[in-house]
Amino acid sequence: MSAMDLFKLDFSSRIWFTYRQNFEEIPGTGITSDLGWGCMLRSAQMMVAQALVMRFLGRGAFSAFAMKGSVFESQATVASSLTQKLA
């Protein structure tokens, strides 16, 4: 694998939580999205999730899955493995 392939594999293995939208309105606010205020929560969640993956599954946790299927399938598989480790 080239250095670029390794970089792409590593980059694509980062856990990514995206904006939420169209959820039930927060009472009295009219807000149905976390656009503009949810980034701090998402950032913290992503850092904690990535730290747990690194600690319990190791840096190569996504390697076996990254070349097959989608990123979402890889993350679901890694999440399942991590849940089993933490149980």
Distance CA 2, CA 57 (A): 24
Distance CA 87, CA 82 (A): 9
pLDDT of residue 40: 85
Per-residue pLDDT reduced to its tens digit, 25-77: 889 988 888 877 788 888 898 899 889 888 887 777 766 555 555 555 666 67
Q: Do 49 and 78 meet the contact criterion of CB atoms below 8 Å apart? A: no
- Given a cut of 80, whether residue 20 has pLDDT beyond it is no
Identify the sign of the CA torsion 45, 83, 60, 20. negative
For residues 48 and 23, which has the higher predicted lDDT (pLDDT)?
48
For residues 1 and 2, which has the higher predicted lDDT (pLDDT)?
2
pLDDT of residue 87: 74
Alpha helix ranges (H) inside the chain: 3-12, 39-56, 63-66, 71-86
- Per-domain boundaries in the chain: 3-86
